[in-house]
Amino acid sequence: MNGLNWDDLKVFLAVARLESLSSAGKHLKMDPATVGRRISRLEEQLAARLFVKSPQGYSLSSIGQGLVDHANAAERAVNGAMDETRAPANVLSGAIRIGAPDGVANYLLPQITAEICDDNPGLEVQIVALPRVFNLSRREADMAITVSPPETGRLTVQRLTAYHLHLAASRQYLDSHKAIETVADLCHHRLIGYIPDMIFDRELDYMDQAGDGARAILSSNSFSVQLNWARLGAGVCIMHDFAIPTFPDLRRILTDQVSLERNFYLIRHADDRKVERLNRFADLLAAKLRREVARLEAIA
């Protein structure tokens, strides 16, 4: 690491995370050709190839993968120093990126993070809403919310809160279709759910709660798509209680027969335990998320 320029390492990290010169350039507000020259300069300095180019983009070589940990450490040191010089005590600043499934990303994180930013004007929050597991080792995000604790990796895991799911449909759908009084009645109705081979976490596989052999006729890897089908009167969906108050026309059904409980976990890279700004943000996020889930579930 001796003699390496932080600006070059910052460019290296952007390409490693985004796997594209153009995407890295857009993120850094830099011309892609300049990004390519900076990577070439760094490779010449190290006398090593850092990336392997393919039609899919830029992937790290084995030497590049080894440099990532050092570059991440340098980034944390630089960000920590900047925070100390520009921010008053206990005020958060700089950028923090959160990865989350689209349910929590759409119906919990916007109001929670906006409130945190109101109290910390220098803070920039980025929410990456994707229906998949985030790779914190590659720094796709500073932290991630998941529905299952990870089983591998140098990560810290904090259980945030339980949340609940029930069957629901729009008032329009319920008024125009056969009554649903038991789980067995669901066989006469169009179900909405996840695409089976695209379920990225076993905790999201709950179609069997709708009866033996139940399958979704309308399916998506996105919960938001499923919820929009339901609110438009397209069918019956198993959905988060905390999302239902956003759409007053939705009605929970069979609450005494079908009720699921799941948990949210906050996942962070183990090396970030000493980064005070991330610790403070994580504490605020956890406390506010617990309160918001409880508030929304009480009015579902």
63: nearest Cα among 46, 50, 74: 50
Exposed/middle/buried for 296, CB within 10 Å: 0-12, 13-18, 19+?
buried
Residue ranges and CATH numbers for the domains of the chain are: 1-86 (1.10.10.10), 162-261 (3.40.190.10)
The model's pTM: 0.71
Q: Half-sphere exposure of residue 177, counting CA atoms within 13 Å on the CB side?
A: 19
Instruction: Kindly report the three-state secondary structure assignment for every residue of the chain.
Output: CCCCCHHHHHHHHHHHHHCCHHHHHHHHCCCHHHHHHHHHHHHHHHCCCCEEEECCEEEECHHHHHHHHHHHHHHHHHHHHHHHHHCCCCCCCEEEEEEECHHHHHHCHHHHHHHHHHHCCCEEEEEEECCCCCCHHHCCCCEEEECCCCCCCCEEEEEEEEEEEEEEEEHHHHHHCCCCCCHHHHHHCCEEECCHHHCCCHHHCCHHHHCCCCCCCEECCCHHHHHHHHHCCCCEEEEEHHHHHHCCCEEEECCCCCCEEEEEEEEEEHHHHHCHHHHHHHHHHHHHHHHHHHHHHHHC
The pLDDT tens digits along the chain (300 residues) read 456 778 888 888 888 888 889 888 888 888 989 988 989 988 888 888 999 988 888 888 989 888 887 787 777 776 666 555 555 557 888 889 999 999 999 999 999 999 999 999 989 999 998 766 556 556 678 899 999 988 777 889 999 999 999 999 999 999 999 999 999 999 999 999 999 888 878 888 888 777 777 788 999 999 999 999 999 999 999 999 999 999 999 999 999 999 999 999 999 988 888 888 899 999 999 999 999 999 999 987
